[in-house]
Amino acid sequence: MNLEAVLNYRRSVRNYQTDNNLDTEKVKHCLEMATLAPNSSNMQLWEFYHITDKELIQKMAHASLSQNAVGTANQLVVFVTRRDLFRSRAKKILEYNRENIKRNSPTDSHARRIKKSETYYGTLMPLVYARFFGLLGLFRKIVTVSVSLFRPMITDVSECDQRVVVHKSCALAAQTFMIAMANESYDTCAVEGLDSRRVKRLLHLPSGAEVNMIISCGIRKGNNAVHGERYRVPFDEVYKNI
């Protein structure tokens, strides 16, 4: 399949064949492809919980309001955001960047580029992601809005805004995964209709982790696997050529 065929093939499947197992290694490989998704500041504040255990799938189905898309799935992947890992991720990227710059940039620019990366990942990222009961976010908001009165400035920096940031990036990984799965002729359904507290408990996630979505996986069963023909609002309504 070419890309257009893959995108047309991908549908939200809510009824999977129960006697047809997916190749776990192939699904895992699709998750490796998912890590190639673009993401904010390359912080990669995500984790993927690949569930193949039938009993746990049924528990997840219960936590997902008994949706068929989860209950009939052969495997599940829970996409999780990890805003709380910002320090360790920033540290790793910085370590990588130092060597990357030495390998790939002109020698006379090494010091300047490394300094820039140190400022970004060593100072800015910890400043942007740090949390303290909403107060640090409020402080960032006041400072950035004040600066924006005089020059363009990112002002969506509250602690709540940072949640949006990590969920956006995680959703891009989820979509990349679904496309990779469709390329294997494997089916998926994104699921956000779930009790996130129950899902977190089942996965023993720490309080700083958040459930982005569950992607159920399997092979479509029969004609009612998808909800009829695909509907999209007319393209003219959403396409604005400026």
Ligand X SMILES: Cc1cc2nc3c(=O)[nH]c(=O)nc-3n(C[C@H](O)[C@H](O)[C@H](O)COP(=O)(O)O)c2cc1C
- Binding residues for ligand X (CB under 6 A): 11-12, 14, 67, 69, 189-193, 213, 226, 230
Q: How far is the CB of 224 from ligand X (least distance, A)?
A: 13
Q: In the complex with ligand X, which residue's Cβ is closer, 34 or 136?
A: 34
Q: In the complex with ligand X, which residue's Cβ is closer, 103 or 232?
A: 232
Number of residue whose CB is nearest ligand X: 193
Residue 215 DSSP SS3: strand
Q: What are the φ/ψ torsions at residue 173 (nearest 5 degrees)?
A: -65, -40
Residue 120 token pair: 């970004």
Cβ(51)–Cβ(79) under 8 Å? no
Q: In the complex with ligand X, which residue's Cβ is closer, 171 or 209?
A: 171
Q: How far is the CB of 213 from ligand X (least distance, A)?
A: 5
Nearby residues of 226 by Cβ (< 8 Å), 6 or more positions away: 11, 12, 13, 14, 220
Q: In the complex with ligand X, which residue's Cβ is closer, 61 or 90?
A: 61
Nearby residues of 25 by Cβ (< 8 Å), 6 or more positions away: none
Q: How far is the CB of 176 from ligand X (least distance, A)?
A: 13
Q: How far is the CB of 110 from ligand X (least distance, A)?
A: 42
Alpha-carbon separation of residue 163 from 22, 39, 139, 159, 190 (angstroms): 33, 13, 16, 7, 19
Q: How far is the CB of 47 from ligand X (least distance, A)?
A: 17
Q: In the complex with ligand X, which residue's Cβ is closer, 12 or 40?
A: 12
